[in-house]
Structure 1
Amino acid sequence: MRDHELRKQVVSEMHLRRWPVLSVPCFIVQWVLIVAPEEREDEAAYLDGFRDPEARHTNAPHLSGFLADGVEFSWERHSEGTSLSLFIDDVSEEELASATLPDRVHEAIEWARGLPGKIMRAIQIRVVADDAAAERLLPHMDFLRSELISCNFGGAPRMWGDFRLKDDGFGKLVVAANGTDLRDFSRLVQRLQDLDNYRNRALLGLPTAQKAWPKLDAVGVRLAEVAARIAGDEAKDDILLEQLSTYSAELNAIANAIDYRLSATAAYAQLVNERLEQLRVTPIDGYASLVDFTQRRFLPAIRTCAAVKDRQLGLSARAERAASLLRARISTRIENQNAELLRSMDRSTRMQLRLQQLVEGLSVVALSYYLIGLVGYVLKGAGHRWPGLDAEVALAVITLPVVLVVWLATRLLKKRLLQGPDRRLP
């Protein structure tokens, strides 16, 4: 037996994306970046340049380690970008409430800003022990009370946030452990972050859908016009078929432009729903919950993306059906033209046959006439040699037999030519 070449990668995949066990209180900063393919080399060079002796590489898509005492980081590469999380321990409630964070936090954030890519999401999470500590912290968070979302998740833990960007470019979240086992609590907070990260990635499809919708409307109107013209039979079939081909090409171009993004949106939306179920959200009176927030803002956007996808597929199917109907009509017309052409050829063949028969009859008469004329010269000459021979009477007697012989000879020759084997000329 020998190891499969992908065995280690598959086993390692099951251990990726795990956060360290969180301490309470602590401070978490996370970025979700969209990294272009040409930026991957710079990203790898930046991470390879990190030479802290305590750093540990788990495998290629994941890197974790310590930037400083009490500052741990976790970096992970995704198909569309990367995520970077900083975990700062030993932070007091006063430091969490202060607008000025400790120097080690600023240094870690500055190091993280050196990574290439565009920020898709940046969040600061302040983790406290219980609801009482969170209530003391909330007045310093600049949350909009009218849009504040708060609920329990996974049992006792509770979160607060308004999911708005603040002046420093970060979103802010407050989470209270409320006596939950720290290992379970760490997994729950990570799922909460996954929910928000997948939600933002899913919403990337909304601008694409909004941009594609007017294009689909325009193509839909033109398809309806062509369908009406096909039913009316005023326009030429080749012109209509050319127009349908053009519209089908436009639909294919739109599909190529939106397919990947909207398919990714559907996949991320499914992950969002799964995370919501795993978090077991419990609403709190006076506050909107994560489920309320998702249903009110996220689901309409996802349904818009799904509607655009369905509309594109529907228009493509309509264009294909219209083209099929038009091709069927063209084929029917061609068949009718071919049938009429065959009938015309049959009439022409019959006419040619009748003319041929007429020519054959005239040929028999002509040949008989010339043959009788030759025989007449012979009989007239013989009348001089034998005075008792009446040449005119003899000609009258042999005329019918000569005509009959010529006619029989012509029929026999025609039969041999039509029924005889084909003979190639040398």
Structure 2
Amino acid sequence: MHPQRERLHNELHARPSIYFDEPATLHHYALLDEAGACEAVLARLVERTGAPPPVDAVQQILEVEGLTLKWERHTEFLTLTLLAPREPEETAWPLPPPLLETLVAGHEDQLIGVTQVLVASAHRWAGSAAAYGLRDPAGSRVGDGDAIVWSDFRLTEQGINRLLLVNQGLDAFRLGRMTRRLLEIETYRMMASLALPLAKELERELQVHEQELGELSERNAEGQAESSRPLLAALSSLSARLERSGARSRRRFSATEAYARIVFTRIEELRESRVGDSPGLGTFILRRFRPTVHFCASIHRRQQDLAESVARLNDLLRTRAQVEIEEQNAAMLASLNERTSSQLKIQKAVEGLSIIVISYYLFSLFKLGLQSLDALGVSIVPAVAAAVLGPLGLSIIGVLAWRIRRVKQH
């Protein structure tokens, strides 16, 4: 057996739902995993139960103080879902149990979602969503008509989003899965919307960057006499700022895309149908949520397109700089050729002068030698001396010229 076979197979049962019968109330908290919030909540939960979770556990269903609590850890957040049975005379929307408030105490700033689901039976509910304080609610039949879900998506003074589920034919298993879908829609919708403030901030930055890129493109197209070095410096600065902006937002936009897909999938799994003239629950969410997702996606595409445009302009400028360098090299080589030619001419002149000087020096020596012989009483006929010493001198001068040429060739 493969060592990971059992673990991989059990992923099918990794995140079970809480199964229950109505009437009941579900309190759902979602906390961002920041400032050690998740670790602190789980540590307090262990103190309450006295039983640490299994190693590598990402979720657990516990009985705490007579209530059913499920915690579930995700990549960026932790969720707490508390199931509380309802009494017939209980108020419609009870406050969250003190247990939840104790677990998240000190980390309220990390609460990204607080949702309350009131589950009532079809034969015992008040008969209208307005009776539960929901104003202009959206409602849908879900689960092929076996339940009706209502919500006005307005936060209470405590920041709680309320949903009313009227069960008409769901058993405990289907009811647990249905409420899980509803809670996941709300949680992932909020997690996906985390990118919206960042996208609005980046929109202003991108406008400045696009304007700057346009100016650099105009300078590159029209200012051919301008050196490419200042343009490359400005473009490098723009590219660095774009890279910093992309590094800051890339992970957030990717997470938004993934969370949005989950929301869309969970809404499809509701299998909705309309209730009277009320807007459908999924329709209401998508009509307002899709623009957020599309806006974030468009900002992400603008970032990528702008980065590609900067890269193309950078390539053009580098090509231009390379051409300028090649032209400078060609001019330098031409100057070297001219200098070498001048040096060769000077060298030839020096060689000629050297031969003339050496010739004069030789003939002077020959003359002194002949004068010395005449002083010693040896008379030499000038014609004979010229016939003998002339070819000898010319031979010596020829050998010297030949040696100079050989040295220059080497």
TM-score under structure 1 normalisation?
Answer: 0.86
The corresponding residue for 1:335 is: 326
- Asked whether the equivalents of residues 206 and 301 of structure 1 are also in contact (C-alpha less than 8 Å), the reply is yes
The CA deviation string for residues 99-135 of structure 1, in whole angstroms up to 9 with x for no partner, is 566xxx64445445547452211111111222x6445
d(CA) in 1 for partners of 2:82, 2:249: 34
- Shift of residue 176 of structure 1? 1.7
Of 57, 60, 63, 1:63 maps to 60
Distance 2:33 2:369 in 1: 115
Partner of residue 424, structure 1: none
Which residue of the partner structure matches residue 27 of structure 1? 25
Q: Report deviation, 1:417.
A: 2.9
After superposition, residues 204-283 of structure 1 pair within 5 angstroms as 204-231=194-221, 232-283=223-274
Maintained 8 Å contact 1:244/1:319: yes
Per the alignment, residue 372 of structure 2 pairs with 381
Distance change in 2, residues 1:116/1:7 (3 Å) = farther
Take 2:240 and 2:384, find their aligned partners in 1: how far apart are those partners?
89
CA distance in 2, matches of 1:180, 1:397: 138
Amino acid of the residue matched to residue 141 of structure 2?
Answer: N
Question: 1:403–1:269: structure 2 CA closer, same or farther, 3 Å change rule?
Answer: farther
Q: Distance in 2 between matches of 1:218 and 1:293?
A: 35
Q: 1:170 aligns with which of 136, 154, 160?
A: 160
What letter corresponds to residue 241 of structure 2 in structure 1? E
Task: Please tell me whether the aligned partners of residues 134 and 151 of structure 2 are also in contact (alpha carbons under 8 angstroms).
Answer: yes
Amino acid at match of 1:91: E
Provide the residue aligned with 2:183 in structure 1: 193
- SS of the equivalent of 1:14 reads helix
Give the aligned partner of residue 349 of structure 2: 358
Report the CA distance shift for 1:233/1:141 in structure 2 as closer, same or farther (over 3 A): farther
Work out whether residues 43 and 115 of structure 1, in 8 Å CA contact, stay in contact via their aligned partners in 2. no
CA distance in structure 1 between the aligned counterparts of 2:106 and 2:171, rounded to whole angstroms: 34
Q: Is the 8 A contact 1:33 1:121 kept in 2?
A: yes
**Aligned to 1:121, which of 113, 119, 123?**
113
How far apart, in 2, do the equivalents of 1:21 and 1:259 lie? 38
CA displacement 1:379-406 (0-9 Å, x = unmatched):
2233345676344x45655675355324
8 Å CA contact 1:39, 1:116 repeated in 2: yes
Identity of aligned pairs, percent? 28
Which of residues 289, 292, 295 is equivalent to 1:298? Answer: 289
Which position in structure 1 is the counterpart of 2:401?
411
The answer to whether the Cα contact below 8 Å between 1:127 and 1:176 also exists between their aligned partners in 2 is yes
Alpha-carbon distance between aligned partners in 1 of 2:248 and 2:207, rounded to the nearest angstrom: 16
Cα-to-partner distance string for 1:309-360 (whole Å, 9 max, x where unaligned): 1111111111111122111111111111111111211121122112212221
Q: Is the 8 A contact 1:122 1:171 kept in 2?
A: yes
| Residue 88 of structure 1, aligned match among 72, 84, 93 | 84
State the Cα distance separating 1:237 from its structure 2 match.
2.1
Higher mean Cα deviation, 168-177 or 377-386?
377-386
The residue identity in structure 2 corresponding to 1:143 is: L
The structure-2 alpha-carbon separation of the partners of 1:56 and 1:77, relative to structure 1 and needing over 3 Å to count, comes to closer
Q: Cα gap change, 1:143/1:403 in structure 2, threshold over 3 Å: closer, same or farther?
A: farther
More off after superposition, 321-330 vs 300-309: 321-330
Farther-moved stretch of structure 1 (36-45 vs 83-92):
36-45
Q: 1:127, 1:174 within 8 Å by CA — same for their partners in 2?
A: yes
Would the aligned equivalents of 2:49 and 2:64 in 1 still touch at CA under 8 Å? no
Kindly provide the amino acid, as one letter, of the partner of residue 322 in structure 2.
S
CA contact (8 A) 2:20 2:172 kept: yes
367-376 or 379-388, which deviates more = 379-388
Note if contact 1:141-1:172 (Cα within 8 Å) is conserved in structure 2: no
Tell me if structure 2 keeps the 8 A contact 1:383–1:390: no
Cα distance in 2, alignment partners of residues 61 and 134 from structure 1: 36
1:110 & 1:362 partners in 2: Cα distance? 108
Cα distance change on mapping 1:237 and 1:100 into 2, 3 Å: closer
- Residues 76 and 414 of structure 1, relative CA distance in 2, 3 Å threshold: same
Aligned position for 1:344: 335
> Structure 1: how far apart are the matches of 2:104 and 2:344?
95
Task: Give the deviation of 1:302 after TM superposition.
Answer: 0.5
Tell me how far apart the structure 1 counterparts of residues 65 and 158 of structure 2 sit (CA, whole Å): 23
Secondary structure in structure 1 of the residue aligned to 2:127: helix
For normalisation by structure 2, the TM-score amounts to: 0.90
Q: 1:149 to 1:407 in 2, by over 3 A?
A: farther
Aligned CA distance change for structure 1 residues 395 and 388 (closer, same or farther; 3 Å) = closer
Aligned to 1:49, the other structure's residue is in SS state helix
| RMSD (Å), alpha carbons | 2.7
C-alpha distance in structure 2 between counterparts of 1:195 and 1:317, whole Å: 35
The 2-side partners of 1:196 and 1:241 are apart by 48
